[in-house]
Chain A
Amino acid sequence: MAMFSNSEYPVRDDLAEIQEAQITALGAPGTWGTGAQRLAIAAEARQAGYDAGVLEAPEDGGHAPEIKLPDVARKVVRRLATDPKDVDQASYKEALAGGLSDAEYVEIVGVVARIVDFDVFARGMGVALAPLPNPEPGEPSRERPPEAVQELAWVPTIPNPPEGGAIADELYEGGPKPYIVRGMSLVPDELRKHVALEHIQYLPMNKIGIADYKHHEGLTRSQAEIVAARVSALNECFF
């Protein structure tokens, strides 16, 4: 049965399709984590949500991870999942001192951010959280982009074109982008997934400057921005 086909409210096909595809892909090897490790991260983020009372556990949660995350990773996952306002540079440095590499940390941020995204959407629609998929075999690619350097974020990032080279042209769709796009660039595959969601869930990036552009049936741009601003304020996100 297609995702959200049991929803009381209509869901656009592209929205349902990208959520289903990205949830399934959580079980595939990533850049630094195996499929099993990435699913363990997603499951820990969900558990933090259940513990905090901001998610309801589904009858069928799908794959139950068989591996235990290291304490340092578990701490990053849980704080980011339910208390993003409390993440600070000291906690980032603590994660690195605890043994995570900067790129492993960025991949964890990406996986947590996306599983929270999928779960907030399901909860908003009033449907059960999607079951986690089974892990796929294989090793992570471990490809670190040599173009990434220390700029103004805590984590290294790929600079805007032309300094960022060909990969910046591809990732940033030909033009300079703010840090909210570039923040994940140390792990390009996570960035691609983040941007793909952005285009469908919020609006296409080339439409951001069009004040009356309407991307969601039933909501004007002003109404959409009310939700965006409120959620970010609740999460105490300065950005």
Chain B
Amino acid sequence: MDTSQDIGVPGGAELLAFSDALIGPDAAALDTARSALAAALGPHSVSGAASIAANFSKNDRIANGCGIPVDPMQLKASVDLREQLGLNDFRSAINTFRHYTE
């Protein structure tokens, strides 16, 4: 993933770095990212970001583990985004495309 682009949201770079480090293996990088996030967005942002990362770590396993499809309305609304981010190439995309076409 390209991490060099400015995503135009305050603290965006710190949130991305925290997310990457939290899912990755480098504990020292995670400590650095956590401190940088707190410095950029305040101490409460750490539990908020950790909470959302935890929640979606759960949801991703439920979605991929149960083989659920994306609902048609959401599929229709995400055509451009999926194309830009390469989401259609994920292995789990087949759980949707075996039922629905673009």
Residues from chain A with a CB closer than 8 A to the CB of B9 are: 220, 222-223, 226
A97 in contact (CB, < 8 A): no
> Are B63 and A227 neighbours in the complex by a CB distance under 8 Å?
no
Given contacts A9-B38, A233-B1, A239-B60, contact A226 B12 (CB under 8 A): yes
> Are A153 and B61 neighbours in the complex by a CB distance under 8 Å?
no
Closest residue of chain B to A19 (Cβ to Cβ) is B54
Question: Which of B27, B42, B65 lies in contact with A56, CB distance below 8 A?
Answer: B27
Max chain A C-beta neighbours (<10 A), residue from B7, B10, B16, B61 = B61
In the bound assembly, the distance between CA atoms of A210 and B28 in angstroms comes to 37
> Are B62 and A180 neighbours in the complex by a CB distance under 8 Å?
yes
> Are B59 and A232 neighbours in the complex by a CB distance under 8 Å?
yes
**Taking chain B's interface residues, is the majority helix, strand, or loop, or is none over half, making it mixed?**
helix
What is the minimal beta-carbon distance from A181 to any residue of chain B, in angstroms? Answer: 9
> Are B19 and A116 neighbours in the complex by a CB distance under 8 Å?
no
Residues from chain A with a CB closer than 8 A to the CB of B96 are: 238
Given contacts A109-B65, A117-B58, A153-B67, contact A227 B15 (CB under 8 A): yes
In the bound assembly, the distance between CA atoms of A10 and B44 in angstroms comes to 6
- B1-26 CB mask vs A (1 if < 8 Å, else 0) is 10000010111100110111011110
**B interface residues, tally (CB under 8 Å):** 63
Residues from chain A with a CB closer than 8 A to the CB of B22 are: 120, 123-124, 231
What is the minimal beta-carbon distance from A112 to any residue of chain B, in angstroms? Answer: 6
Q: Which B residues, 70 to 102, have Cβ-Cβ distances below 8 Å to chain A?
A: 70-71, 74, 85, 87-88, 90-96, 99
> Are B52 and A216 neighbours in the complex by a CB distance under 8 Å?
yes
Max chain B C-beta neighbours (<10 A), residue from A106, A126, A228, A238 = A238
Closest residue of chain A to B38 (Cβ to Cβ) is A9
What is the minimal beta-carbon distance from A114 to any residue of chain B, in angstroms? Answer: 6
In the bound assembly, the distance between CA atoms of A155 and B65 in angstroms comes to 9
Q: Interface stretch among A23-31, A62-70, A128-136, A194-202?
A: A194-202
Closest residue of chain B to A176 (Cβ to Cβ) is B71
Given contacts A120-B54, A231-B56, A238-B92, contact A106 B15 (CB under 8 A): no
Q: Interface stretch among A33-41, A79-87, A139-147, A165-173?
A: A79-87
In the bound assembly, the distance between CA atoms of A100 and B4 in angstroms comes to 45
- B47-60 CB mask vs A (1 if < 8 Å, else 0) is 11111111111111
Question: Which of B10, B53, B88 lies in contact with A227, CB distance below 8 A?
Answer: B53
**Residues on A facing B (Cβ under 8 Å):** 7-12, 15, 52-54, 56, 80-81, 84-89, 92, 106, 109-110, 112-114, 116-118, 120-121, 123-126, 152-155, 178-180, 182-184, 194, 197-198, 200-202, 215-220, 222-224, 226-228, 230-239
Task: Name the 5 nearest CB pairs between A and B, nearest first.
Answer: A124-B50, A216-B48, A154-B67, A218-B44, A218-B45
A-B contact pairs, 17 of them (CB 8 A): A8-B43, A15-B51, A85-B64, A113-B57, A114-B58, A120-B50, A124-B30, A124-B47, A152-B99, A179-B66, A197-B58, A216-B49, A227-B19, A232-B56, A237-B64, A238-B70, A238-B90
